[in-house]
Amino acid sequence: MLDEQLRHTIQQMPKAELHIHIEGSLEPELIFALAQRNGVTLAYPSVEMLREAYAFSDLQSFLDIYYAGASVLLTEQDFYDMTASYLARAAADNVRHAEIFFDPQTHTARGVPFATVIDGIWRACQDAPISAALIMCFLRHLSEEEALVTLEESLPHRDKFIGVGLDSSEVGHPPEKFARVFERARQLGLRLVAHAGEEGPPAYIESALDVLKVERIDHGVRCLESPALVERLVRERMALTVCPLSNIKLRVFDVMGSHNLRTLLDKGLAATVNSDDPAYFGGYMNDNFIAAFEALPLDASHARQLARNSFEAAFVDPEKKRAFLAEVDAFFANTD
């Protein structure tokens, strides 16, 4: 069992969350409430039966249910309520700063206007108890042309998000499929990230870096299969946004005891801990830290490193970054 003091340290330490899909924060109770509010019929008769369906065998089996859950989101208020609910939960876990993914194509494909999606999410971020920023993700199972259309659609809202990412079904949809849209995003001054090396091979991490020119890798846990890639990621201080509970639920690792988080840190990689889709994978930020620290040989020095890594990797200005890092250092100075 986790030592009480270490548990307290993990819960109380200031941290940043850099890998959270806002649609993945939609709890079954809110799915049902929004379905009722909007007159949408769900394939599941009760909250309990929906929750029971959350038994995944891989990424795709999760995505099928995740996209079905998102179908209850119709109005700007729906997007606001979902985001406000996540931000309150993150604040309770002492998350000081969150960089939040959203998937506009999941909604525009259903006829929900782009503005409805981003305005609801963005307004909740403006009202948030913590610092928050948005990253727009392209669905990699769709075409690059569709991603380019989405990027153009987003331009009137350019001031509401800081970057672009790449998510959804990884295998068979390598980063290089999105070379042009990421190049255009880069020209627009957007920050760049991509999911790579969750289910896909180390070569996908390499092409995310070389072709897309991303500044962080989402997941990236399969990097250990390539020693040369590990050496590069360490040298470039490239952050990996690791999601422990997600990796167990989607069977990237069999059990938490075989997760490679400790090894990533031992190799000097800039790993961070994140929740990915907390409503689907069994927990928010502190649940992810606690599950990993319970199962792996991780102590307070690792907690401090992970907290520091999260702010080092955050897309905030240098002054704000220094202030967050000073807060981490002050917190740990007081726990010695």
Residue 99 or residue 276: which is nearer to Zn ion going by CB? 276
Q: In what order do the strands lie in the sheet with 95-102?
A: 15-21, 95-102, 131-139, 163-167, 191-196, 216-219, 239-242, 270-273
**Does 167 help bind ligand HPA (rule: CB under 6 A)?**
yes
**Does 277 help bind ligand HPA (rule: CB under 6 A)?**
yes
Instruction: State the nearest-atom distance from the C-beta of 172 to ligand HPA, in Å.
Output: 13
Q: Half-sphere exposure of 322 toward its Cβ, with a 13 Å CA cutoff? A: 3
Cβ atoms of 62 and 280 closer than 8 Å: yes
Site for ligand HPA (CB under 6 A): how many residues?
A: 11
Compute the distance between CA of residue 121 and CA of residue 296 in angstroms, rounded to an integer. 35
Which structure tokens are listed for 6? Answer: 């270490």
**Does 198 help bind ligand HPA (rule: CB under 6 A)?**
yes
**Does 99 help bind ligand HPA (rule: CB under 6 A)?**
no
Q: Which backbone phi and psi does 98 adopt, to 5 degrees? A: -125, 135
**Does 246 help bind ligand HPA (rule: CB under 6 A)?**
yes
**Cβ neighbours, 10 Å, residue 2:** 15
If we measure between CA atoms, which residue out of 166, 75, 175 comes closest to residue 120? 75
**Does 197 help bind ligand HPA (rule: CB under 6 A)?**
no
Residue 32 or residue 101: which is nearer to Zn ion going by CB? 101
Using CB under 6 A as the binding rule, the residues of this chain from 64 to 93 that contact ligand HPA are 66
Instruction: State the nearest-atom distance from the C-beta of 281 to ligand HPA, in Å.
Output: 9
Helices (H), 188-282: 202-207, 227-235, 244-249, 261-266, 278-281
Instruction: State the nearest-atom distance from the C-beta of 336 to ligand HPA, in Å.
Output: 36
**Does 286 help bind ligand HPA (rule: CB under 6 A)?**
no
**Does 206 help bind ligand HPA (rule: CB under 6 A)?**
no
**Does 17 help bind Zn ion (rule: CB under 5 A)?**
no
Which structure tokens are listed for 198? Answer: 């969750």
Which entry of 27, 198, 199, 206 is annotated as an active-site residue? Answer: 198
Compute the distance between CA of residue 328 and CA of residue 199 in angstroms, rounded to an integer. 32
Compute the distance between CA of residue 262 and CA of residue 260 in angstroms, rounded to an integer. 6
Q: Is 153 a catalytic residue?
A: no
Residue 150 or residue 168: which is nearer to ligand HPA going by CB? 168
**Cβ neighbours, 10 Å, residue 161:** 23
Q: Rg for the chain (alpha carbons), in Å?
A: 19
Interface residue with Zn ion, options 124, 276, 289, 328 (CB under 5 A)? 276
Q: What is the DSSP pairing of strand 163-167 with strand 131-139? A: parallel
Residue 23 or residue 76: which is nearer to Zn ion going by CB? 23
Interface residue with ligand HPA, options 96, 195, 249, 302 (CB under 6 A)? 195
Residue 202 or residue 278: which is nearer to Zn ion going by CB? 278
| Type of residue at 156 | P
Compute the distance between CA of residue 176 and CA of residue 189 in angstroms, rounded to an integer. 20
**Does 177 help bind ligand HPA (rule: CB under 6 A)?**
no
- Given phi > 0 = left and psi -120 to 50 = alpha, else beta, which region is 76? alpha
Residue number of the CB atom closest to Zn ion: 276
**Does 199 help bind Zn ion (rule: CB under 5 A)?**
no
Site for Zn ion (CB under 5 A): how many residues?
A: 1
**Does 81 help bind Zn ion (rule: CB under 5 A)?**
no
| Type of residue at 297 | P
**Does 103 help bind Zn ion (rule: CB under 5 A)?**
no
Q: Which does 59 bind (CB under 5 to 8 A by kind): ligand HPA, Zn ion, none?
A: ligand HPA
- Which sequence positions are flagged as catalytic? 198
Binding residues for ligand HPA, rule: CB under 6 A, are 21, 24, 59, 66, 167-168, 195, 198, 246, 276-277
Binding residues for Zn ion, rule: CB under 5 A, are 276
